[in-house]
Amino acid sequence: MPYEELEDVKKKCEACEKCGLCKTRTNTVFSGGVPNDKLMLIGEAPGFYEDKQGEPFVGKAGQLLDKILGCVGLSRKKDIYICNTIKCRPPENRDPLPEEKAACREYLDKQIEILKPRIILLCGRVAVNSMMETTQGITKLRGKWFEGPNFSKMMPIFHPSYLLRNDSREKGSPKWLMWQDIKEIKRVYDQLCK
């Protein structure tokens, strides 16, 4: 099986006790979607439903993410590998602490090293801060391509939970901007799949 190395990393992650979040988690949330070498999305951290189910992006934000991907014909069942900056839920969904991110980093690094995705989507501020050295906010960075690990193309995008709080679809609104971004992502994805 391709990428079987990922299974070993997942097992190690499931037994991880490197930070305090191991005491409050129900499940580790290692990945979702399908392992592939084209498209990876890195989110923030598991929330309530993800912790319960051991699967990333299964709550309201995840449902919106599926819809956004679906708009350009992409699906988590066949096209994208989904993971998070950290693999255990922070209590009350607070931001991950620097020491939690540091303790968990090896799992994310391994996922990237094994898959070597050509496109990496950084979903929200926490993912951007983990993968890029920048002081710029997501609003400035979204929709632009940056060079990522292994010469990948990396794009910051809005987090779907931010879109859930901003209902407008008018030109220039967060939802409208996300629509521009997903179309650009699909354009580059199609070039890679030719």
- Which positions touch ligand URA (CB under 6 A)? 43-47, 50, 56-57, 59, 61-62, 84
- In this structure, is the dihedral angle defined by the CA atoms of residues 70, 76, 78 and 81, taken in order, positive or negative? positive
The single residue listed with the structure tokens 């679809």 is: 169
Which residues in 8-158 belong to E strands, given as ranges? 32-33, 39-43, 81-84, 119-123, 146-147, 153-157
Give the CB-nearest residue to ligand URA.
Answer: 43
Closer to ligand URA at the Cβ: 117 or 147? 117
CA distances from 138 to 103, 141, 162, 178, 187 (A): 24, 5, 11, 12, 21
Instruction: Kindly state the smallest distance separating residue 62's Cβ from ligand URA, in Å.
Output: 6
Instruction: Kindly state the smallest distance separating residue 169's Cβ from ligand URA, in Å.
Output: 22
Closer to ligand URA at the Cβ: 30 or 191? 30
Instruction: Kindly state the smallest distance separating residue 101's Cβ from ligand URA, in Å.
Output: 13
Closer to ligand URA at the Cβ: 44 or 79? 44
DSSP assignment of 133-165: -----HHHHTT--EE-GGG-EEEEE--HHHHHT
Closer to ligand URA at the Cβ: 35 or 190? 35
Instruction: Kindly state the smallest distance separating residue 191's Cβ from ligand URA, in Å.
Output: 27
